[in-house]
Amino acid sequence: MEHITTPKVENVKLLDRYTDRKAANGTLYLTATHLIYVDASADVRKETWILHHHIVSVEKLPLTTAGYPLLIHCKNFRVAHFVIGQERDCHEVYTSLLKLSQPAKPEELYAFSYNPKVSKESREIGWKLIDLKVDYQRMGIPNDYWELTDVNKDYEVCNTYPPEIVVPRAASKAVVIGSSRFRSRGRIPVLSYLYKENNAAICRCSQPLSGFSARCLEDEQMLQAIREANPGSPFMYVVDTRPKLNAMANRAAGKGYENEDNYDNIRFKFIGIENIHVMRSSLQKLLEGACRPCEWPLFFTPRREKLCEMKSPSMSDFLTGLENSGWLRHIKAVMDAGVFLAKAVKDEKASVLVHCSDGWDRTAQVCSLASLLLDPFYRTFEGFMVLIEKEWIAMGHKFSHRCGHLDGDPKEVSPVFTQFIECVWQLMQQFPCCFEFSERLLLEIHDHVYSCQFGNFLGNCHKEREDLKIFEKTHSLWPFLLEKKQELRNPLYKGFTAYKELQPNTLPFSFQFWCGMYNRFDKGMHPKQCVLDYLLKCMSQKMNLEDNASELENKLPFLDGPLPSEGSSLSKVGHTTLKTPMLNTPQGYEGEPPPVLSNGALMGDVDVPSGVDQKHKENLPHHRDLQDLSDAPHMLDSEVKGGKPQHH
């Protein structure tokens, strides 16, 4: 609180960029963790909460006739444009936000002060909820070819890997240690995913320290052990996710890529995903071009009582900005790499070793996407959390640096994890029935990567989290998300066994601009109704009515007088009356989606559907989890089959 000199400012205007509505007028509050804006001009109390850690920049704009503008950009792509009446108030809010949004020490992060009022035992259980050993056991590890070893328990092999890693059983400790000395930052080849159908494996590592001619016997033996762990294939792929020119430039620095002449039976391939600096620039161009194409001309016209008027972006401006950013080309490159890995493993039955430079950015993207394509478990709630924990958190993606959690080098910041989340969303557009969760889960996770409210994404590796005592002092995100499972689920999900491997189309026309991510807080840009939200609401109402019907049936034997013979069919009547109107009355749905964020989001500025009472909410997670959900796609299938033939 020492950074806050003015905790409350009245008569602050909040501008809306994409609608013609009158600017909101209200009170701005600064707390230790949030900026809170309360709209006093609304009929119903509306609050906008912005977490300090979400703020990426604060800018004072030139004075206007309306007051002193303050423009705030957030890491979750919210843009808040305030106009404050007094220059002193504006400057003090500006100064406070600069300090509050850029903590210098890890101990100042929100996670270390966040207290959800749960017991110590519950917090410890939350951290044990995701157990990677269980996932390896699900893959059939340990087995004759692979073992889970604690060779890195003291971080003597690699200080950015977890204490336990999966390596070929044929690789001795001497081979492991020797290979680590030949790999950048000691990041040796380790198992990422084992495809049990044919024993093909996806492994990951960093680039070799090969230069122009150096070689390492132990590293060559390590790759041979990986290849021989898959007896069904005479070769293995080694995939460098970098553009070839970048990899060749690294050779001059004593690094580089594998020489096929030195490794037996490998097939080497470049993929061509650009580095973190290109991706950071691309996102900036996307936000400036496609997402923020309009100017902010401020003027005050008393006759019209409007503070600002937004210049609507033209279709040409939007498409030009999107093209110039190159963002979707980069998303396609990442997706193409994941598809190549999945096809190599499934169709060619070959193991694949993947690396980029240090093996914690592009490598994490590609390995996790390939696993998602191959294994339906990772498309469930728990499976997706396991995937992120295994490929991103445990294997040392530098969340603290890439997300800019602390005041540091801005060149280390890059939207690597954002790209992965978007790739998952692009898959969900092509396969809407294959994921147990909706895009809301993706947005929740993305928000909390930057919120620093939970300890999962703090630090750059497992060792740093141990040093910060994350597991003793902070809470895990995963139990929090599982409690919200009902509102984050996908009503079109057909179940775990409906789809095995996914084969997405990666032609250019298959990729869409994700308005729900990059313009999420610009309400004027979103459709008035969302089909999936409406379907979820209808299903919740249906289950609520079924519970009420069951409760009434239980009360019938206690009534005086003879029971009507039709009484026992009460619930059946409920079923009959519910099925037809559900899909025929979308016009009756007036509510907006419930808020996604627990902080920094829409506390009071959304209308929350009220189809479920509190008692029913508590029982929802235990109520016919998938049966009703699977009804929806079946009904859609029957509509298609009963209608006109489909043309492909």
Res 19: pLDDT:
65
pLDDT beyond 70 at 169: yes
Q: Assign 295 a pLDDT band (cuts: 50, 70, 90).
A: very low
Give residue-wise pLDDT tens across range 482-506. Answer: 999 999 999 999 988 888 999 999 9
Q: Assign 151 a pLDDT band (cuts: 50, 70, 90).
A: very high
Q: Which two tokens stand for residue 530?
A: 């969302």
Give residue-wise pLDDT tens across range 404-423. Answer: 999 999 999 999 999 999 99
pTM for the whole structure: 0.82
In 3D, which of 367, 402, 394 has the Cα closest to residue 273?
Answer: 367
**Residue 344 CB burial class (10 angstroms; 0-12, 13-18, ≥19):** buried
* Strand 46-51 with 34-39, pairing: antiparallel
245 or 646, which is more confident:
245
pLDDT beyond 80 at 142: yes
What's the mean pLDDT when you consider all of the chain? 85
Give residue-wise pLDDT tens across range 247-276. Answer: 999 999 999 999 999 999 999 999 999 999
The SS3 assignment for 7 reads coil
Q: What is the mean pLDDT of residues 284-295?
A: 71
pLDDT beyond 60 at 577: no
Question: Comparing 102-106, 381-385, 529-533, which segment has the lowest mean pLDDT?
Answer: 529-533
Q: What is the mean pLDDT of residues 281-305?
A: 58
Res 527: pLDDT:
61
pLDDT beyond 80 at 126: yes
Percent of the chain surpassing pLDDT 70: 81
Report how far Cα 629 is from the mean position of its chain's Cα atoms.
23
Q: Which two tokens stand for residue 449?
A: 């990567």
Q: Assign 541 a pLDDT band (cuts: 50, 70, 90).
A: confident
Q: What is the mean pLDDT of residues 290-300?
A: 44
239 or 637, which is more confident:
239
Alpha carbons within 13 angstroms on the beta-carbon side of residue 194 total 25
pLDDT beyond 90 at 456: yes
> In whole angstroms, what is the distance from residue 248 CA to residue 250 CA?
5
The SS3 assignment for 594 reads coil
Task: Go through 446-469 and write b for each residue having 16 or more CB atoms within 10 A of its CB, e for each that does not.
Answer: bbbbbbbbbbbbbbbbbbbbeebe
Res 450: pLDDT:
97
**Residue 308 bears catalytic tag:** no
Q: Assign 569 a pLDDT band (cuts: 50, 70, 90).
A: very low
- Whether 346 and 501 have beta carbons less than 8 Å apart is answered as yes
- Whether 456 and 477 have beta carbons less than 8 Å apart is answered as yes
CA angle 514, 241, 195 (to 5 degrees): 85
Q: Which amino acid is at 161?
A: Y
The phi and psi torsions of 523 (rounded to 5 degrees) equal -60, -35
Most confident of 99-103, 189-193, 249-253, 538-542: 189-193
- Whether 57 and 404 have beta carbons less than 8 Å apart is answered as no
Q: 286 Cβ partners below 8 Å, 6+ apart? A: 321, 322, 325, 327, 518
Res 647: pLDDT:
44
Q: Cis peptide before 142, with omega less than 30 degrees from 0? A: yes
> In whole angstroms, what is the distance from residue 179 CA to residue 107 CA?
36
- Whether 443 and 516 have beta carbons less than 8 Å apart is answered as yes
pLDDT beyond 50 at 613: no
- Whether 289 and 254 have beta carbons less than 8 Å apart is answered as no
Res 167: pLDDT:
98
* DSSP string of 311-345, one letter each residue: -PPPHHHHHHHHHHHTHHHHHHHHHHHHHHHHHHH
Residue 549 CB coordination number (10 Å): 16
Q: 437 Cβ partners below 8 Å, 6+ apart? A: 380, 381, 384, 488, 489, 490
Give residue-wise pLDDT tens across range 13-44. Answer: 998 876 667 889 999 999 999 999 999 887 88
Which position among 356, 367, 403, 423 bears the catalytic label? 356
